[in-house]
Structure 1
Amino acid sequence: MNLQQLRYVVATAEHRTMTDAARSLYIAQPALSRAIRDLERELGMTLFARSGRGVVVTAQGRRVVKLAREALDAVHEIESLASHGRSAETELRIASTPSLEPGLAGRLLPAYTEKNPAVRVHIVRCDGRDGVVSAIRDQRADLGLTDLPVPTDLISHPLERQEVVLISPPGLDLPDSVPMSRLTGMRLVLPARGSARRREFEQMFAKYGVRPVAAAETDERGGWLSPVRAGVGSLLWYRGMAEQAMRAGLVVRSLDPPIRRVIAIVHARRRLPVIVQDFLALAEGGTAA
């Protein structure tokens, strides 16, 4: 038995389906099912029973889930105690996605460093939401800035809603506000097929009944503007990238109806050092708006 298995048990109990639990943990559903089965064999008991398309926690399972939560809380407490004794507490590490980093550096960090000049802030650059989650879980970062949702073992503090816009090469015959229906047949630069981010895009396309064409597929978000500059296709991303895109000679347009995503600061479920609490208090005070 290990901590990872305990996290899997808690997530499965909270989501009540293996598919949703696996998605929240950013792992494949078969891997989660296999880990739960291995733990059940090790313990000699059934934790979850099939019920329609989901699962229900058995009587024995409820006890295990309760103890698993307590064990994970205890680990977080121990980690918190250890962090208080480190001189590194004067360094605040914040994981961020490339598209959200400019807002972090331009608004939150100047205000924080002005009030806390003795604290050195280090930005951990991550390739997307999955990277931010991993940085926090691996304790490479104290906080993360990303869009929601995140796995249930993390706590989120919503900051703002950021608009999703269409970034295109010049010369396209499109209105200033692009109807969602115009995305059908449009060549788009999209995340890799099968990735969590790609599934979110596909859910959005299904919601509006549109069928764009995948002109390029990659999870290297730092290079997403390059194929747009080369005329390969357009890109759906946050308005926070608009200034960088316009400097590159690209055209930024709103969508109709407008689409907005929640941006949040996230962290592990544990007692936070004072310098981290101070940053959260500043962010939630409205500096990021």
Structure 2
Amino acid sequence: MNLQQLRYVVATAEHRTMTDAARSLYIAQPALSRAIRDLERELGMTLFARSGRGVVVTPQGRRVVKLAREALNAIHEIESLATHGHSPEAELRIAATPSLEPGLSARLLPAYTAEHPGVRVHIVRCESRDGVVNAIREQRADLGLTDLPVPADLITRPLERQEVVLISPPGLKLPDPVPIGSLSGLRLVLPTPGTARRREFDALFLKYGVSPAGTVETDERGGWLTAVRSGVASLLWYRTMAEQAVRAGLVVRALDPCIRRVVAIVHARRRLPAIAQEFLAVAEKGTAA
């Protein structure tokens, strides 16, 4: 038995399918299945019962998963011991999406580094909410900043509710604020069909009886503002991106009724390093203020 096998067991229990667990671990699904079978053979017990669309943790497996999590958490704590004294090597890793990183850099990080100047903060840039979730699960980040919802295996600490606005090329004749019904027939930049983010947009449109025209469908956020600048379409995005959009010569309008999304700090269900706990304390202090 080794640590890699323990990580495989925990990932399989969290994802409930070998395919999703393998994807999160960046390994081939047959390799994961083989490693789990080898461990089951070594232990002389069945950890996962195979079902039609995934796996179910057995009673014996639940005990092994619990102990595996505890072992991995202990390893994580041992690795983070050096951070308790805030040595020059202390590093806090925070995963964030491009939409939310500006707010993190402008508000939370200055407040934290002012109180803890000995800690180096590394931003793990993720293209999407799923990227933030995976960075936390794979322990590439201690904390994550993203909008909700996230999977139930993560702990969420809500920070604020951010306003969603319409960012458009100049010359588009729309009132400010824009009635949501006016989005019908409007050319929009939208996430790729079938993705979690697109399903959220589709649910929003269904709620308000809106049928926009998805001119550009892409998950590459770096090209969203470029598409708007080219005059191809408008974009629904957060108010925190308004300054960047205005600098690019674009027009930012509020929506009526106002739509807000909850932004939160998320982390795994394990004991956090001291520097991460201190960051949460600074963030909660700022929220209370």
TM-score (norm 2): 0.80
Matched, 1:76 2:80: no
Offset of residue 226 of structure 1 = 0.6
1: CA distance, partners of 2:288 / 2:269: 23
Contact 2:46 2:58 in 1 (8 A): no
1:174 is aligned to 174
Offset of residue 189 of structure 1 = 0.4
2: CA distance, partners of 1:230 / 1:154: 39
Contact 2:160 2:287 in 1 (8 A): no
1:64 is aligned to 61
Matched, 1:234 2:269: no
C-alpha change, 1:26 and 1:261, in structure 2 (3 Å) is: farther
Contact 1:10 1:69 in 2 (8 A): no
Instruction: Deviation per CA, 1:11-51: give whole Å up to 9, x if none.
Output: 55xxxxx8xxx7x9998xxx99xx89x979x666874878x
Letter in 1 for 2:74: E
C-alpha change, 1:56 and 1:222, in structure 2 (3 Å) is: closer
Contact 1:95 1:143 in 2 (8 A): yes
Cα RMSD for the two superposed structures: 3.3
Letter in 2 for 1:74: A
1:280 is aligned to 280
Report the identity percentage.
60
Which portions of structure 1, spanning 4 or more consecutive aligned residues, are displaced by more than 6 angstroms?
A: 24-27, 54-57
C-alpha change, 1:6 and 1:277, in structure 2 (3 Å) is: closer
Offset of residue 56 of structure 1 = 12
Instruction: Deviation per CA, 1:151-203: give whole Å up to 9, x if none.
Output: 22222111001011111111112110112211111110011222221122112
Contact 1:159 1:288 in 2 (8 A): no
Classify the secondary structure of the residue corresponding to 1:176: coil
Letter in 1 for 2:148: L
2: CA distance, partners of 1:89 / 1:202: 45
2:13 is aligned to 9
Classify the secondary structure of the residue corresponding to 1:216: strand
Letter in 2 for 1:147: D
C-alpha change, 1:45 and 1:110, in structure 2 (3 Å) is: closer
Offset of residue 121 of structure 1 = 1.5
TM-score (norm 1): 0.80
C-alpha change, 1:145 and 1:46, in structure 2 (3 Å) is: closer
Offset of residue 252 of structure 1 = 1.0
2:183 is aligned to 183
Offset of residue 240 of structure 1 = 0.7
Contact 1:184 1:210 in 2 (8 A): yes
Q: How does 1:1-289 map to 2 (within 5 A)?
A: 3-10=7-14, 12=16, 47=49, 61-85=58-82, 90-287=90-287
1: CA distance, partners of 2:8 / 2:274: 28
Report how many residues are paired. Answer: 272
Q: Structure 1: which 5+ runs fail to align?
A: 13-17
Contact 1:92 1:276 in 2 (8 A): yes
